[in-house]
Amino acid sequence: MSEKVERERIRGAAYLADYPADKIIVECEQCGWRAQFDKAAMIEAGGDRPMTHLLDDIARRKGCTRVALDMNDIKNHCRARYVNIDPKPSDYAKAKGV
């Protein structure tokens, strides 16, 4: 272990600052919500964070109760995801025509 361990980035993790778009769009088809955030404003408000942590945060704030479920419970687990870096159209998007 080295002495300079001060809040280094987790190796290989994607961080908020790396997000390829200025707007961050998140949706959960399981719970039926969609939200858009400004990347710069988010970094300003909460600092740069790994995107997986952020996704859970957003989902919880949106009232997703399924975030806390066992990850192995795929059928019921929250499906929050970054829409604009995952080009696969979701059922939610198809249903809502967005």
Distance (Å, whole) CA 67 – CA 87: 22
| Least Cβ distance, residue 64 to Zn ion (angstroms) | 3
Q: Candidates 16-24, 44-52, 73-81, 89-97: pick the segment binding Zn ion (CB under 5 A).
A: 73-81
Would you count residue 78 as binding Zn ion (CB under 5 A)?
yes
When the beta carbons of 28 and 42 are compared against Zn ion, the nearer one is 28
The reply to whether 64 sits near Zn ion by the rule CB under 5 A is yes
23-28 and 81-82: which strand pairing? antiparallel
| Sheet with 23-28, edge to edge strand ranges | 33-38, 23-28, 81-82
Residue 58 in the binding site for Zn ion (CB under 5 A): no
Report which of 80, 65, 66 is spatially closest to residue 26, judged by C-alpha positions. Answer: 80
Q: Please report whether residue 30 would count as binding Zn ion according to CB under 5 A.
A: yes
Q: Which residues bind Zn ion (CB under 5 A)?
A: 28, 30-31, 64, 66, 78
